Structure 1
């Protein structure tokens, strides 16, 4: 596993801790010293498959993740932020490998993995050029994908980012937003799973991608916000992005 690296520092969440300060002072008319009363902080709340159409998805740029613990679940009629974490108990089934993927999705996944294994970001750039639309690599504009990926990587040649892409695509995946314009196959599945309550085996999977410190920070934040990949049912790569 790759140790804590500069690339992760760009997406690290530094939570603001609210400090409760007790009201001090003694009763003016009494000599008896009263014990200090400290307020108690409220606990932090952490947050079958339908037939796939052969028609290509309309291109879209995924929105930032905005976990909302108060809204009712969407019926699919409204556009949801992508990727977003489901409520506990609503996590989609996890799949592995490519045997259950549509042929076009498996083809794109394999092309990305083959490019990553070469150790050359330029090979990944060629795959991106052949994509139906420019995929989202950042929530800021990206002029040159190859240059951007090298700059985002912890090494000058961009090989760390290739290793991360390979690790993510070898992880479990989920099929989400079925039947909507945002229908997507998402890697790793943690992008749509709550990080609390993972089994020991799932935590080992997560630690292949993140350090324990990163996981703790993301749990405080409310969900996984590291690199994830989204591929539409027609094989279009929609995003390889980190952040929220």
Structure 2
């Protein structure tokens, strides 16, 4: 819930320039991508544990899977094994990102189209965007009536903040 005095987000234009990312952001992104290459959701435990605090996987904190982050990711995956989680995370990181300044915090969030909606340039781009949507989120839409893409945010200091599809 936003309060009257809450700072307004300042959101950059989309960028695909990975060299413009701060070094700590590139480092955790690379660590996440390396884990995804193993095609085993368990490999994500390394970048999750690399964080000072666990990234959030949903805005609501109740999971039948308990508190183990890998079990949570499995529960959120359509196949309950984590394959969808891996595929969606890869698709999200393949998209451009935006820089979000929220008061003293700067986040880098993928995919950019989640915060800066623009029509896809062509059919290939439209398909790439749909790959960022979890199967469970296909029937649900956000406040603007668009599909709810999964988003990943990393702070400028390299802390992985979230990996969720909530508005």
Q: One fold, TM greater than 0.5?
A: yes
Could you tell me how far apart the structure 1 residues matched to 2:74 and 2:166 are?
17
Unaligned stretches of 5+ residues in structure 1:
1-62, 67-73
Could you tell me how far apart the structure 1 residues matched to 2:31 and 2:56 are?
17
Q: TM-score, normalised by structure 2?
A: 0.79
TM-superposition CA deviations, 1:14-47 (whole Å, max 9, x none): xxxxxxxxxxxxxxxxxxxxxxxxxxxxxxxxxx
Larger strand proportion, structure 1 or 2? 2
Shift of the alpha carbon at 1:181? 2.7
1:191 touches 1:224 (CA, 8 Å); kept in 2? no
Match of 1:182 among 100, 105, 109: 105
Is residue 133 of structure 1 aligned with residue 53 of structure 2? yes
Moved more, 156-165 or 230-239: 156-165
Could you tell me how far apart the structure 2 residues matched to 1:164 and 1:155 are?
13
Match of 1:113 among 33, 38, 58: 33
Unaligned stretches of 5+ residues in structure 2:
none
Is residue 103 of structure 1 aligned with residue 19 of structure 2? no
Shift of the alpha carbon at 1:228? 0.2
2:142 touches 2:148 (CA, 8 Å); kept in 1? no
Distance 1:100 1:215, change over 3 A: farther
Is residue 231 of structure 1 aligned with residue 159 of structure 2? no
User: Which residue does 1:148 correspond to in 2?
Assistant: 72
Distance 1:138 1:188, change over 3 A: same
Aligned length: 158
Q: TM-score, normalised by structure 1?
A: 0.56
Shift of the alpha carbon at 1:134? 1.3
TM-superposition CA deviations, 1:60-88 (whole Å, max 9, x none): xxx7xx9xxxxxxx9xx6245xxx8x8xx
